[in-house]
């Protein structure tokens, strides 16, 4: 839980992702990975060598304005308060996705990771600006992308906002879905939906990673559900080799 607490303490409002990027790169320093970036600031990480890579995605930014943020753990629930002890958003959307990615990069020998900036809407600016600006060639040798950026504990979004098909409903097998309590559902917008709208021709999906009340001061995480998401994604990655 210490790693998650560290992530929540770093504010990364859209367009101000430098601190969270430094933290991630420091944490990954000992690993045999290569890291690329692009003009807008997305991070693309490759570990191991393969003809076709599995890929996991998350977004670096959050909706909340910077403030002094203390992280509170009450049993399985994690949230944040300010210096007056009033609830503030903890940035679980999408620090939970970053936590999953950091864990997978430690354990999985072969993996690509895409971390996008500026996923959140910002005033008049539409969301998914990092995913809209990126060069799709990073995904030329990728067989699928799993993004961890969905509220709750049980959704695999296979149809995105506007009815766009992300993957087939049997992309993840029933035994794996059932073991971890997930089901295929219709959902909203995130980076992988933007990539599909741009014509990326591989299966993608967006999975629940244990956060609730995203974009609100009452945002919180159920840690057991975040850990279950990690186990679920890991199990799928390993079954797909």
Alpha-carbon gap, residue 193 to 202, rounded angstroms? 12
| E strand or H helix that includes residue 211 | strand 204-212
Nearer to Zn ion, 167 or 207 (CB): 207
Cα three-residue angle 2-20-7, rounded to 5 degrees? 20
Helices (H), the chain: 2-9, 18-27, 92-107, 129-133, 174-180, 191-197, 223-239
Q: From the list 93, 155, 219, 225, which residue makes contact with Zn ion (rule: CB under 5 A)?
A: 93
Q: Least separation, in Å, of the C-beta of 23 and Zn ion?
A: 18
Applying the rule CB under 5 A, the residues between 139 and 198 that interact with Zn ion are 149
- The answer to whether 62 contacts Zn ion (rule: CB under 5 A) is no
| E strand or H helix that includes residue 137 | none
Nearer to Zn ion, 46 or 209 (CB): 209
What DSSP designation does 63 have?
A: S
Is 110:52 a contact under the CB 8 Å cutoff?
Answer: no
Q: Least separation, in Å, of the C-beta of 127 and Zn ion?
A: 9
Is 36:44 a contact under the CB 8 Å cutoff?
Answer: yes
Which of the ranges 94-102, 157-165, 175-183, 226-234 carries the binding residues for Zn ion, by CB under 5 A?
Answer: 94-102
Nearer to Zn ion, 53 or 99 (CB): 99
Q: Least separation, in Å, of the C-beta of 97 and Zn ion?
A: 7
Structure-token match 């699928």, residue found: 144
Q: Least separation, in Å, of the C-beta of 123 and Zn ion?
A: 17
Q: How many residues bind Zn ion (CB under 5 A)?
A: 3
Q: Least separation, in Å, of the C-beta of 106 and Zn ion?
A: 23
- Residue 89: Cβ within 10 Å count: 25
Which of the ranges 5-13, 86-94, 217-225, 231-239 carries the binding residues for Zn ion, by CB under 5 A?
Answer: 86-94
Token pair belonging to 76: 């399985």
Q: Least separation, in Å, of the C-beta of 49 and Zn ion?
A: 31
Nearer to Zn ion, 149 or 219 (CB): 149
Q: From the list 45, 53, 61, 94, which residue makes contact with Zn ion (rule: CB under 5 A)?
A: 94
105 closest CA partner among 162, 57, 144: 57
Summarize as ranges the residues that interact with Zn ion (CB under 5 A).
93-94, 149
């Amino acid at each position: 839980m210490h790693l998650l607490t560290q992530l929540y303490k770093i504010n990364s409002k859209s367009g101000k992702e430098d601190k969270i990027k430094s933290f991630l790169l420091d944490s990954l320093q000992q690993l045999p990975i290569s890291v690329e970036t692009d003009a807008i600031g997305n991070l693309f990480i490759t570990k191991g060598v393969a003809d076709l890579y599995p890929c996991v995605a998350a977004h670096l930014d959050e909706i909340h304005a910077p403030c002094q943020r203390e992280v509170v753990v009450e049993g399985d629930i994690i949230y944040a308060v300010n210096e007056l002890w009033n609830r503030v958003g903890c940035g679980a959307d999408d620090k939970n996705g970053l936590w999953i990615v950091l864990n997978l990069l430690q354990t999985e020998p072969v993996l690509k990771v895409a971390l996008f900036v500026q996923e959140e809407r910002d005033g008049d600016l539409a969301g998914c600006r990092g995913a809209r600006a990126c060069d799709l060639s990073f995904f030329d040798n990728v067989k699928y992308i799993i993004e961890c950026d969905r509220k709750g504990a049980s959704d695999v979004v296979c149809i995105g906002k506007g009815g766009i098909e992300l993957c087939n409903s049997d992309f993840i097998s029933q035994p794996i879905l059932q073991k971890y309590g997930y089901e295929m559902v219709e959902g909203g917008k995130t980076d992988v939906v933007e990539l599909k709208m741009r014509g990326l021709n591989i299966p993608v999906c967006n999975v629940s990673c244990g956060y609730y009340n995203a974009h609100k001061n009452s945002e919180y995480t159920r840690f057991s559900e975040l850990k279950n998401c990690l186990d679920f994604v890991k199990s799928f990655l390993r079954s797909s080799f």
